[in-house]
Amino acid sequence: MEALSINASHRSCKQAIAEQHNVLSYGAKPDGSTDSTKAFLAAWAQACSSISPSTIYVPPGRFFLQNVEFKGPCKNKAIVVRIDGTLLAPTDYRIIGNAGNWIFFQNVDGVTVSGGVLDGHGSGLWDCKQSGKNCPSGATTLGFSNSNNIVISGLTSLNSQMVHIVINGCNSVKIQGVRVTASGNSPNTDGIHVQLSSNITILSSKIGTGDDCVSIGAGTTNLWIENVVCGPGHGISIGSLGKDLNEPGVQNVTAKTITFIGTQNGLRIKSWGRPSNGFVRNVLFQHAAMNNVQNPIVIDQNYCPDNINCPGQASGVKISDVIYQDIQGTSATQVAVRFDCSKKFPCTGIKMEDVKLTYKNQPAGASCNNADGTTSGVIQPNSCLHQARCDESVRVRTASKQIADETNQNSINLYSNFASSSTLAMTNSVEKCNKASKALNCVTALLEGEYGAIYADLEEPEADYRISPLHDAAAPGFLLVLKWFELLDLRI
C-alpha cells in the first residue's frame, strides 16, 4: 500500500508540471528569414488541445512570421507563450498591410504572453502614408479579441505598422512591464488601445510612439493605468468617441502616476462634434507629471478632421465626474488647461485638485467652454470652470417648438410666465448641483430643438423638486420635466 501511495503521488506531481512545446521541435528556424508561421501554429494546436497547463517556448533567435491567428476556444485554460527571442514581421509592408493584425489571439481564455521582442518593421508603411500614396491601412502588432484572463508581461513592441497592442471585447486583462517604441512621427501607431473591454490594468510600462500612448475606446469599463512613462506620443486619450450615433460609453477609468515627456497631449478626452448617445463618466487622473507637454489637460468635444461629416454640429457625448488630482509640471504652450465641451451637453462634475502647470516659468493659462465644475487646493492656472452655484437659478433647456407640437400653445405660455417670475431656493451642495446639471442634460437629450430657458423652483428641505405655483396646472411639458427630476431622485 505504501508503494502504491508513492507512485500515485509521483504521477500527480508529473501532471502538475506544465507541458512545454518548443517551436524548434515543430520546424521553426531562428535565422530571421525562414517562414516559421506553420511551426508556431502547430505548437499552438498542441497546447490548445491539451488539458494540462502548457508553455509554448520561443528560444533566443530571430523568427520570421507572416500574419498568424491563434484561435480558440481551447480545452486548455493555462497557456503561456514564453518568448526569449525576437519575432520579425515581413519587411515588405504590403504582405501583411491589409491583414488587420500581425499576431492575433481570438476567443482564448487564460493566455499569457511573456517576454521577447516583436518587430513590426513598420517604417516602410509610415513612409508610404506620409508620401500621400495609396497605402494599406497597416497591421496591429499584437491583438486580443473576445478573450478573458489575459496577461501580457515583459514584452517589447518595436515599429508597429499601426497600433502596437489592441484589446478588443475582452475581460480581465493585465499588461505589465511592456515597452513600446516607434518614431514620434509614425502615423496611427497607438501604443495600447482598449475598446469594448472591462477590468483592464496597464502597469509599469514605457511607451514612446507616434500616436496615443494609451487610447481608450468606446465600451471601456474599469480600466486602471498606473506607473506609465509616455513620450513621444499623443498622451493618454479617452477617445475619439461619438463618431457613431449608437455607441457604448466609457466609465470607471483611473490613470495615476503617469509621466509625460514632450508629448502632444497629456490627459485628453476627445469626441466628435456630431450626435451620439455615448458618455464618459467616473474618471480619475491622479499624480501626473508633465514635462514640456503641448496640451497637458484637454477636453475636446469638437473633433472633426477636415470639417467633414460634422461641421456645425454639437457633440452628443456626455462627460461627467472627471477628477484631475495632483497634476504638476510644464506646458509647451501658454494654454495648459483647455476644456472645450459640447454646447448641447456641457461637461459636468469636473473637479480640479492641486493642479500646478507653468509655461516658460510663468503661470500658464486656461480656457473653458461649456464646462461646469469645482476646484480645491492650489490651482494654477486659475480655474475657468463654471462653478455650479446653488444660489443661482438652474437653467433647464427645453425645445419650445417640440413642446408646442406635443402639447399646446398654452404650455408655452406657462413656461414663459414661469421663467420670468420664479426663483430657485437651494442648499449649498455641490453634489446636488451636479445632479441638477445632469437632469438638465437629460431634459436636453429628450427635448431637442431650439432651446429656450425656464427655471425650476425648489420648496422646503426634504421636498421633491416641484414647480410652484403652477404645479397643479402644469402643462404636459412641465410634467415631463418633473418626471425626469423624479427618476433622477433629485431631492434637497
How many Cα atoms occupy the beta-carbon half-sphere of 321 within 13 Å? 15
Q: Could you tell me the three cell numbers for 417?
A: 410666465
Instruction: Flag whether pLDDT at 219 surpasses 60.
Output: yes
Q: Where are the domains of the chain?
A: 20-211, 230-387, 395-487
- 230-387: CATH architecture: 3 Solenoid (2.160)
Q: Are 456 and 437 in contact (CB under 8 A)?
A: no
What percent of the chain clears pLDDT 90, i.e. is strictly above it? 72
Q: What are phi and psi of 243, to 5 degrees?
A: -70, -30
**Which of 306, 416, 399 has the alpha carbon at shortest distance from 344?**
399
Task: List active site positions.
Answer: 234
Q: What pLDDT does residue 127 have?
A: 96
Higher-pLDDT residue of 187, 466 = 187
Q: Are 345 and 362 in contact (CB under 8 A)?
A: no
For 344-383, what is each residue's pLDDT tens digit? 899 999 999 999 999 999 999 999 999 999 999 999 999 9
- 20-211: CATH architecture: 3 Solenoid (2.160)
pTM of the model as a whole: 0.80
Let me know if the fold of 20-211 is the same as that of 230-387. yes
Model confidence band, residue 29 (pLDDT cutoffs 50, 70, 90) = very high
Higher-pLDDT residue of 425, 75 = 75
For 380-424, what is each residue's pLDDT tens digit? 999 999 875 433 333 333 333 333 344 444 444 433 433 333 323
For 117-146, what is each residue's pLDDT tens digit? 999 999 999 999 999 889 999 999 999 999
What percent of the chain clears pLDDT 70, i.e. is strictly above it? 75
Instruction: Flag whether pLDDT at 294 surpasses 50.
Output: yes
